[in-house]
Structure 1
């Protein structure tokens, strides 16, 4: 299936695996790209050395194009961009709008720049700055999310920009792919669906909890901004002593990431400016990496949070990335046949 997305990045199918912290490492990204989609390494929770190692590991596993997701407000964003350029990464993905100079540097090097947005005005802004495409996530999506559902946000963005738009939030099958394309999207991006595959590194006991889940909730208790996660007793308890917990987790993240306190404070200042957060919210944001790691790496669902899109309530299996993408494309073909007049 050829679309503006497949032409732009060189993947076989218009399906993107989103950059999920502690989930989308080299293993999942390589499996997705090898199956014809666009795999994306989530490097925001990696050190610079870990990011470089993950990129090289994907290149060993497949010669298909893939992407790397970083935080645009990270203190070492410039260094990470240079690593992507040096290592020949095809797509640079950003959770927030990248700076103009980063976009210009990536375009000069021939790297496709694709930020994620949650509002039409944000899409218009980054399109004017020269990005190559945007991922538009509606409120159904997991992790940091907004209030506008995909079915309303997607057509707004498609009508307001002249670059490829990838739809995220609420997608899991071929019918959704066709629906997104009917709205004008060039493809779909999925997080929770790829988390629940056999290629995902998430511990089995955590995957079972996802498969058993029927509901999610949006909370500000994780890091001060809206975050869609699985509804668990631990999430309900986060309100108590959350600032103290954040300080402890910031220290733990510092040790794991090998970053200095000066580096972390610089990132905090960037978060305040880029996301319009108070220092209290920035401190709470220190919770996020460690709370995600507790569940996604250590398997401690009683001590961690699990970002999840609303599609989690309809997922009941763990296919490989190859099986999943093949199934989605077969469903899309069948759906198009049913809709096309004889």
Structure 2
């Protein structure tokens, strides 16, 4: 299927596997790339040295294009950009809008820049700054999310910018791909659907919790880091929502310290990142501390396999997923479904 996205990044199918922290590692990214999608490494939970190793591991597993997801507000973003430029990565994606300077630096090195946004005005801003494409995530998507549905947000952005738009939030099959294309998107991005594949390294016990989820089991809470965060409702989420402020902050401080040791991040860097996170978001320092706590709560589930001790970011589509195909089988299914839907729309009895 030929779209502006496939032509821009050189993949066979107009599908993006999103850069999920602790989840989108070399195995999943290379499997997605080999299946014809654009695999994106989640680098926010990696040190710059580990990122370089991960890029080389992906390269050893696939000759297909792939990308790296970066935190635009991280104090070491320039170092990470240097790594992906030196390693010849095709695409840089961002969970937050990057600055004009970061976009210019990447484009000068021939890297395709694809920020993720949750509002039309943010899409207009990064498009004006030179972004090559934009991923638009509606409120159905997992992780930090907004309150505007994809079906409302997507046409707004498509009508507002000239660059290719990739739709995210609520996609898991070929029907959704065709629907996104009908709205004017150049493709779709999926996180939860790729998390729930046999190529994902997420532990089986955690995958089982996702597969058992109903629509009512996927919730949005501010209890984890003070910002709207879509995830599976678990006993831990209930406990966080009912825990007093002092105990919550003490727990967050312990987890932030553990993440600092694990990631090799010094306290000065952690504080600089905290200030960057706080800037423009009207967050309290308590909320910044809770945000620093989040990576360890995600790691407890996604790496260590303890769904009762961690949080599980999830799109609402988890309630519609009931199997764990390989990335190759998943992409074959999605593209086959899309072909059948398109055929049915143009066939007359």
| TM-score, normalising length: structure 2 | 0.97
Q: What's 1:248 paired with? A: 254
Pick aligned residue for 2:283 from 277, 283, 289: 277
Could you list the per-position Cα deviations for residues 249-307 of structure 1 after superposition, in whole angstroms to 9, with x for gaps in the alignment? 11000110011101101111111115442212111101210000000000111110000
Runs (4+) of structure 1 moved beyond 4 Å?
A: none
Match runs of 1:191-270 below 5 Å = 191-214=191-214, 215-239=217-241, 240=243, 241-270=247-276
Q: What's 1:129 paired with? A: 129
Cα distance in 2 between the residues matched to 1:275 and 1:85? 30
CA deviation after TM superposition for structure 1 residue 70, in Å: 1.1
Cα distance in 2 between the residues matched to 1:247 and 1:301? 21
CA RMSD after TM alignment: 0.8
Cα distance in 2 between the residues matched to 1:283 and 1:162? 38
Aligned: 1:139 with 2:139: yes
Q: What's 1:159 paired with? A: 159
Pick aligned residue for 1:323 from 324, 329, 335: 329
Q: Does the aligned pair in 2 maintain the 1:73–1:274 contact within 8 Å?
A: no
Partner SS for 2:279 = helix
Q: Does the aligned pair in 2 maintain the 1:139–1:145 contact within 8 Å?
A: yes
CA deviation after TM superposition for structure 1 residue 122, in Å: 0.7
Cα distance in 1 between the residues matched to 2:74 and 2:296? 17
Cα distance in 2 between the residues matched to 1:276 and 1:116? 21
Cα distance in 2 between the residues matched to 1:340 and 1:45? 46
Cα distance in 2 between the residues matched to 1:337 and 1:282? 50
Could you list the per-position Cα deviations for residues 110-155 of structure 1 after superposition, in whole angstroms to 9, with x for gaps in the alignment? 1000010001111111111110000000000000000000000000
Pick aligned residue for 2:305 from 294, 299, 305: 299
- What are structure 2's unaligned runs of at least 5 residues? none
Cα distance in 2 between the residues matched to 1:193 and 1:242? 31
Cα distance in 1 between the residues matched to 2:45 and 2:28? 15
Cα distance in 2 between the residues matched to 1:224 and 1:92? 27
Aligned: 1:312 with 2:314: no
Could you list the per-position Cα deviations for residues 58-96 of structure 1 after superposition, in whole angstroms to 9, with x for gaps in the alignment? 000001000000100001001101111000000001000
Q: Does the aligned pair in 2 maintain the 1:67–1:89 contact within 8 Å?
A: yes
Partner SS for 2:98 = coil
- What are structure 1's unaligned runs of at least 5 residues? none
Cα distance in 1 between the residues matched to 2:104 and 2:182? 32
Going from structure 1 to structure 2, the CA distance change for 1:78 and 1:276 (only over 3 Å counts) comes to: farther
Partner SS for 2:224 = coil
CA deviation after TM superposition for structure 1 residue 341, in Å: 4.1
Partner SS for 1:238 = helix
Q: What's 1:89 paired with? A: 89
Cα distance in 2 between the residues matched to 1:157 and 1:275? 22
